[in-house]
Amino acid sequence: MKKLVNRPENVVEEMLSGMVLAHPDYVRKLDGFNVLVRRESPVEKKVALVSGGGSGHEPSHGGYVGYGMLDAAIAGDVFTSPTPDPIYEAIKAVDGGAGVLLIVKNYTGDIMNFEMAKDMAEIDGCQVEYVVVNDDVAVENSTYTAGRRGIAGTVFVHKIAGAKAEIGASLEEVKVTAQKVIDNVRSMGMALSPCIVPAAGKANFTLAEDEMEIGMGIHGEPGTHKDTLKTADEITAQLVNKILEDMQLLDGDEVAVMINGLASTPLMELYIVNRRVHEILSSKGIKIYKTFVGEFMTSLEMAGCSVSVLELDEELKELLNASADTPAFKLL
Amino acid sequence: MSVNGLKIIDILNKIADVIDENKFYLTELDAAIGDGDHGLNMSKGFAVVKEKLKEDTGSNIGDILKKTGMALVSNVGGASGPLYGTAFLKAAVVMNGKGEMDLFDFVMVLQAALDGIKMRGKAEPDDKTMIDAIEPALNVLKDGVEKRLPVKVTLKEAVDAAYRGVEHTKEITARKGRASYLGERSIGHQDPGATSSALILDTIYQAIADGR
């Protein structure tokens, strides 16, 4: 293992300390908990947005704490859901009286821990609702699985629900908008190389020199299949076609696109992927309203990317364009 | 035959030891079909349980089980924390204010725990989860209570049923949790949650059978 760490058990806490020192104008850390909240929390009479999950996906989710996006982000151990206590503390710290919306990625542990925290906060009289993001089309969404996983499309939920909350919408309205984003977004990823959880010290799967995994999850969960390495255009077509199979996009529909790097893939390659995504969508008459290329939800040092497509309507367009100012996402 | 609060604390300490002895075994089972942290996380959580029960006088079994549940919820993480935590918290409600537990109470406790696990995990039998160990054991216990069989015999048969449940998880496809992403590739692998549940039930039986 070749990593810039001190002790594996301290990585999350040390990372958060570093984040607070880097962005003191945006975030502060809750004493005794691995939680970042907006510096000015709680924001009076605004619905508060809380997200989080296992660490190792930076800038998700702490990087999105700030104006127009999240009010709090809970950082669990690497790839492990946080326990209910810090989630509960986060809810209490950011509730400005208008209620709290939890944005949870669809993983069994995350759902249970966030649900328990919701129950605990409700006993104290907090109004709490939650939505579950499940944008990964690589997993069959059936009664025989835990359902689709939540991946990079979650960042669209943070952005759009965050903008909705910022204009003074009620908890129910913010939840409805967040759910609309979830219903309209699909993603699919692929990996070129594995990643190493610091505490484990070795890679959680292997890929041969000429191999890739299509549909790989952000924790190295199996995808749809292993394949021999192909060109960027061929790989991109596989991802986009699988996404489009699951959406009813018509000629003239508008979408936002996110090309997300998993951490070890250079921006150069992400732009090459983006070029092909635009070609494919344009050839079908689908209009790309806005494009995001960069690292939004990483997977430690994994190489690879994911593509997300969000179908837009007037409301979503307006909210997507609203300003946001956070350490990792700025739209001014 | 009934046991008091101090005996319950003793049993919980023994469970903590057994989980610790088996942490690498459980983690290995989990690495095959999950994310490979079950044993380590459970051992971490039960170490805190031991710590929290050190000063307990044993007068209220409900309180003992509540402390156990809270410690597991707050320290295990992943899915096992909320599941085992909820199980103990639901059991705590049944035993609130009681200083003694008999076999009938234990049936109620295990029923409440199982209902809590099903509620929290939204899982059913044959989903390849801890339910596949606990439910068969509970059914045997109910039967034993109804037929007024000796406590130790009933407990032994319940533990055997739990281990048969664990064996059965090898034959079925995971439908909950991370293992479900593997689909049929999960067949042949034993469920780590069912295994830890069987180990816990076995430890309870051993402690009662010891009679000390």
Query: How confident is the model over A51-57, as a mean pLDDT?
Result: 97
Query: Which pLDDT score, from 0 to 100, does residue A20 have?
Result: 98
Residue B64: which domain range?
2-210
Which CATH number covers residue B73? 1.25.40.340
Q: What is the pLDDT of residues A256-295, one digit of tens each?
A: 999 999 999 999 999 999 999 999 999 999 999 999 999 9
DSSP A153-206: THHHHHHHHHHHHHTT--HHHHHHHHHHHHHHEEEEEEEEE--B-TTT-SBSS-
Query: Which pLDDT score, from 0 to 100, does residue A219 have?
Result: 86
> Would you call A81 and B78 a contact, using CB atoms and an 8 Å cutoff?
yes
Residue B64 pLDDT > 90, yes or no? yes
Write down all domains in chain A, each with its CATH number in brackets: 9-184 (3.40.50.10440), 185-321 (3.30.1180.20)
Residue A204 pLDDT > 90, yes or no? no
Nearest to B178 among A83, A108, A115 (CB): A108
Query: How confident is the model over A297-325, as a mean pLDDT?
Result: 98
Of the listed ranges A232-241, A265-274, B72-81, the least confidently predicted one is B72-81
Q: Which residue has the tokens 């909350």?
A: A165
By C-alpha distance, the chain A residue nearest B74 is A83
Residue A249 pLDDT > 90, yes or no? yes
Residue A144 pLDDT > 90, yes or no? no
- Restricting to B residues 70-129, those with a Cβ less than 8 Å away from any Cβ of A are 73-79, 81-83, 85-86, 120-121
DSSP A59-94: TTTGGGBSBTSBSEEEEEEETSPPPHHHHHHHHHHH
Listed residue (B72, B73, B71, B111) closest to B93, CA to CA: B111
Of chain B, the percentage scoring pLDDT greater than 70 comes to 99
Of chain A, the percentage scoring pLDDT greater than 70 comes to 99
Residue B212 pLDDT > 60, yes or no? no
Residue B211 pLDDT > 80, yes or no? no
User: How close are the terminal C-alpha atoms of chain A, in Å?
Assistant: 40
Complex ipTM: 0.80
Query: Which pLDDT score, from 0 to 100, does residue A13 have?
Result: 97
Residue A42 in contact with partner chain B when CB distance is under 8 A: no
Instruction: Tell me which of A81, A137, A145 to substitute to probe the interface with B (most B C-beta atoms closer than 10 Å).
Output: A145
Number of domains in chain B: 1
Residue A142 pLDDT > 80, yes or no? no
Strand partners, A109: none
User: Which of the four pLDDT bands, split at 50, 70 and 90, describes residue B112?
Assistant: very high
Which of A23, A57, A61, A158 is catalytic? The answer is: A57
Q: What is the pLDDT of residues A115-131, one digit of tens each?
A: 999 988 998 999 999 99
The pTM of the full predicted model, rounded to 2 decimals, is 0.90
- Average pLDDT, rounded, for chain A: 95
Residues of chain B contacting A145 with CB distance shorter than 8 Å: 175, 180-181, 183
Q: Distance (Å, rounded) from C-alpha A93 to C-alpha A105? A: 21
Q: What is the pLDDT of residues B19-29, one digit of tens each?
A: 999 999 998 89
Query: How confident is the model over B113-129, as a mean pLDDT?
Result: 95
User: Which of the four pLDDT bands, split at 50, 70 and 90, describes residue A143?
Assistant: low
Q: What is the pLDDT of residues A81-93, one digit of tens each?
A: 999 999 999 999 9
> Would you call A145 and B183 a contact, using CB atoms and an 8 Å cutoff?
yes
Within 10 A of A129 (CB to CB), how many other CB atoms are there? Answer: 16
Residue A6 in contact with partner chain B when CB distance is under 8 A: no
Query: How confident is the model over A294-317, as a mean pLDDT?
Result: 98
> Would you call A85 and B74 a contact, using CB atoms and an 8 Å cutoff?
yes
Half-sphere exposure of A318 (CA within 13 A, CB side): 7
Residues of chain A contacting B28 with CB distance shorter than 8 Å: none
Query: How confident is the model over B36-58, as a mean pLDDT?
Result: 93
Query: Which pLDDT score, from 0 to 100, does residue B54 have?
Result: 96
Query: Which pLDDT score, from 0 to 100, does residue B35 have?
Result: 76
Tokens of B8: 């319950």
